[in-house]
Chain A
């Protein structure tokens, strides 16, 4: 089993020691970074510091040195965002810090995505995502989309203020196995239920697995509305999509 001392980068070691408390997550994170070459660890550390310019430079450097794009993504960017997700979940950091890390991840992905796209890497599945009708908030949804894409999903982003008809049209058009709805306001949360009812009325409910999320949304509310899953944050969204796409 890998040890913390197997990780060369001091920032990564400190982050694991200071912020990760669950034994299984400590073991998993150490395992990932112990396998990562030092440059990938530096990319992850820069991402954790929200330094998008450094991530941009290091990602380009790694590709120039012949590191595979998938390796940069998995062991640099996604591994770094894994720690970000844990820190956010445990309230060590909040949305501004997550946005800065996401900006850094985007800077890295700008180098990675064209290569993966050209190589035709097989998608994990297609997810239709949108913020519900009447709600113009999209930070949470956009973080989820970024993590989903980073994890190999193809995502159709319907944006904000999405009507039930727009969700249904997109699911039908793309034959999406999974759909995600987001809401930030307690006043717009009921529109998730209305959308699910519209799928039932149109006899489309069995065609798609529906996941929901957003700051005020809870598992209980998701269950009451008949959603197939609830994700508390962007990391949970990825895990949920992985399980729903197989359902």
Chain B
């Protein structure tokens, strides 16, 4: 842990940006790379789904609660993973406030790489421009205080949405060259939407690319994605936070070589083993368990997981993934509280 006594007090934004570079911080930042939207927060600020996913003012209002109500050091306005896919033409099930919007992957829009044509209105479509406008609103209102984190989906995730998970995964085995052509065509979406969010005012971008530990191997990550993720770090000039769910220790070494600022890691990976693998080449963000801890247990269990991460030297603390919409505010507020308490205890011991 850096010697925080020698670091002057920081704003949330300064704290997050320093931690993403593994520079000294006044305390470990609390970061939300995915979503902390809950039904309770939607009711509190009258910003329910689906409007909070489609209308920029409503999206910004709900996102701001991550800072104003929960006390996180980041604000993340992109609650779902479907905004770009909607702009590409995928059919979306928008749902209501108690459920997440989802792409209807049983109705794929592409079969082959030749089908992929990036629409001219990619960045002006309602569901992408909504994100850009929400970032502008948040930057103006909170930009000096906290880090505004946007989100641009990686080509592997986009391929699930556009071709269907099962056909795409079978293709990855049957025809690797064709699979690479698909990824290569879809990467333009990742880059263009990412760069547009920088221009809108984002301080960092989460880049989910679901080559998850439960679906594909670490060797798959190396074969299909490592080089492309390295390229994203050049093409999208802002700290990138790669998000991949599941047990991922078999690919963390590859991920650490990409130049990504951070890896948002899942609770299926132990903090200590993960830190041993990445060896300070990339910051780690996470990994408070969602279903068993944040959703099902109480503040004491949340506190224990926060402490476990801090003891291991994890650089930014936050939930492992987008949280269930019925998660209690008490448990979410416990994350920043536990971080402050841990630092107070460790400072007083030193």
A186 to chain B, nearest CB (A): 4
Pick from B100, B215, B291 the residue with the most CB of A within 10 Å. Answer: B291
| In-complex Cβ contact of A134 among B99, B103, B290 (8 A) | B99
**Binary contact track B250-264/A, C-beta < 8 Å → 1, others 0:** 100000000000000
Residue total for A at the interface (Cβ-Cβ under 8 A): 32
Is there an interface contact between A94 and B220, defined as CB atoms closer than 8 Å? yes
- Across the interface, B173 reaches (CB within 8 A) one of A97, A142, A185, namely A97
Give the CA-CA distance A189 to B215 in the complex, in Å: 18
How far does the Cβ of A233 sit from chain B's closest Cβ, in whole Å? 10
Cβ proximity bits B168-207 to A, threshold 8 Å, 1 near / 0 not: 0110111000000000000000000000000000000000
Interface residues of A in 71-95 (CB under 8 A from B): 91, 94-95
Chain B proximity of A100: nearest CB distance (Å): 5
Q: Does A96 contact B (CB under 8 A)?
A: yes
Q: State whether A96 and B170 are in contact (beta carbons under 8 Å apart), knowing that A186-B291, A187-B324 are contacts in the complex.
A: yes
A188 partner residues in chain B, CB cutoff 8 A: 99-100
Q: How many A-B residue pairs have CB under 8 A?
A: 91
Once A215-B214, A215-B246 are accepted as A-B contacts, the answer to whether A99 and B170 lie under 8 Å apart by CB is: yes
Determine if B99 and A96 form an interchain contact, defined as CB atoms under 8 angstroms apart.
no
Q: Does B292 contact A (CB under 8 A)?
A: yes
Which residues of B sit under 8 angstroms from A103, Cβ to Cβ?
Answer: 170
Bound CA–CA A122/B111 (angstroms): 40
Dominant secondary structure of chain B at its interface with chain A = loop
Contact A134:B102 (CB < 8 A) given known A94-B216, A94-B220, A95-B215: yes
B145-172: contact bitstring with A at CB < 8 Å (1 yes, 0 no)?
0000000000000000000011001101
- Assess the B106–A139 pair: CB atoms within 8 A: no
Is the pair B103, A136 in contact by a Cβ cutoff of 8 Å?
yes
B side interface size, CB within 8 A: 37
- B105 sits at the interface (CB 8 A): yes
**Contact yes or no, B95 A134, CB < 8 A:** yes
CB pair B169–A185 under 8 Å, yes or no, is no
Q: Which residues of B contact A114 (CB under 8 A)?
A: none
When A99-B170, A215-B246, A221-B296 are in contact, do A139 and B291 touch as well, CB less than 8 Å? no
Does B126 make an interface contact (CB < 8 A)?
A: no
Q: Shortest beta-carbon distance, A118 to chain B, in Å?
A: 30
Encoded as 1 (CB less than 8 Å from any A CB) or 0, chain B from 307 to 331 comes to 0000000000000111111100000
CB neighbours (8 Å) of B216 from chain A are 94-96
Report chain A residues within 8 Å CB of B292. 218, 220-221, 224
- For residue B93, CB closer than 8 A to chain A, the reply is yes
**Contact at B291–A96, with CB atoms within 8 Å?**
no
B169:A96 contact, CB within 8 angstroms: yes
Identity of the chain A residue whose Cβ is nearest the Cβ of B174 in the assembled complex: A100
| A187–B295 CA distance with the chains assembled, in angstroms | 10
**Given known A-B contacts A187-B322, A190-B291, A190-B326, A99 and B100 have beta carbons under 8 A apart:** no
Q: Give me the interface of A with B, judged by CB distance under 8 Å.
A: 50, 91, 94-97, 99-100, 103, 133-139, 142, 160-161, 185-190, 215-218, 220-221, 224
Beyond A134-B99, A136-B105, A216-B245, list 9 extra A-B contacts (CB 8 Å): A95-B215, A100-B174, A134-B102, A137-B165, A186-B322, A187-B323, A215-B246, A217-B291, A221-B291
| Between-chain CB contacts (< 8 Å), 7 pairs | A134-B100, A134-B102, A186-B290, A186-B320, A187-B290, A187-B324, A190-B291
